[in-house]
Copies of this chain bind each other. A is one copy, B any other.
Amino acid sequence: MTVKPNSRVAFQGERGAFSEEAAVKLLGEKIVPVPQPTFDATFAAVGRGLADLVLSPIENTLAGSVHNALDLLIESGLSIIAEVVIPISLNLIALPGVSLEQIAAVESHPVALAQCERFFRTHSGLTRIASEDTAGSVRAIMQAGIPARAAIASRRAAEIYGGKILLEHLEDDPKNYTRFLLLSASPNGTAPATKLSLVFQLPHLPGSLHRALEIFARRKMNLMRIESRPVHGRPWEYRFYMDLQASASDQEAAAAITELGNCAVNLKILGSYLAAEDQSGKST
């Protein structure tokens, strides 16, 4: 992966969103964050010249549908050039100088609120307030200077807006990770890669997926993820997303993809990149 410092990175949400946290973990602090209000706007940002790269959640996300991101990825024509996994650690963030006892209401995206049921059970006097954005809740409370209100958001959102973290790890499930993809207008080129993402359609016949997988099984290529999604407007037709432990520059993989092209339609290589699990020396 070759990414210039000062690259403009589009993501859905406000400054301090978990997607920004993921972008910084992957690319460092020198990136220029380009926050976008919607997933549609995020995926269109490169084509519109607003950003060089897109950072999007793809699995187990906090806000919005992963399926939506997968579908937008295909339609966008962008290529995956890297991935990163971060823990979704939820913090209770308030104005500096405010203590937990002073908080009467807690604001965040409903999906984040729903991931903190245990906290709300043990603090049953707190009013829940829904918002459109986790980081945006921190910004709103800091800007308005409301001492009786706290937000649930990322550590980065607290840092950006000058909030104080009253409590950490509000999330019910400590094993709450989200996988993000870094997308670019051009594919990875010669950078080292261990993971290959594909999408294709198969005829709706018994055994068609089995025959497609045989192409990879015969070559002892490892399947890391598979997901079927109905094709919009075409009942009973399915699109398959597949992650393989392979690189597009590998001859075996190239031969397998050629073979797959004979039995699948709309075959597309989404990207060839270093799996998050194969990265080391990254700061966390």
Contact = CB atoms under 8 A, between A and B. Distances in A.
A113 B111 CA distance: 14
A214 B210 contact: yes
Contacts of A109: 110, 130
Grouping DSSP codes into helix (H, G, I), strand (E, B) and loop, the A interface class, with mixed when no group exceeds half, is mixed
Contact of A110 (B132, B206, B216, B238): B132
Given A67-B60, A111-B65, A226-B227, A175 B207 contact: no
Interface residues of A, number: 48
Interface in A177-230: 204-207, 209-211, 213-214, 216-218, 220-223, 225-228
Contacts of A39: 114
Interface centre among A38, A67, A209, A210 (most CB of B within 10 A): A210
Contact of A213 (B67, B130, B209, B218): B209
A195 B65 CA distance: 26
Contact of A63 (B40, B110, B117, B207): B110
Interface centre among A204, A213, A225 (most CB of B within 10 A): A213
Interface string A4-16: 0000000000000
A64 interface: yes
Nearest to A173: B232
A278 to B, nearest CB: 12
14 contacts: A60-B65, A64-B114, A109-B130, A110-B130, A128-B132, A175-B233, A206-B217, A206-B220, A207-B213, A207-B217, A207-B220, A210-B216, A213-B213, A225-B228
Interface of A: 38-40, 60-61, 63-67, 109-111, 113-114, 117, 128, 130-133, 175, 204-207, 209-211, 213-214, 216-218, 220-223, 225-228, 232-233, 235-236, 238, 277
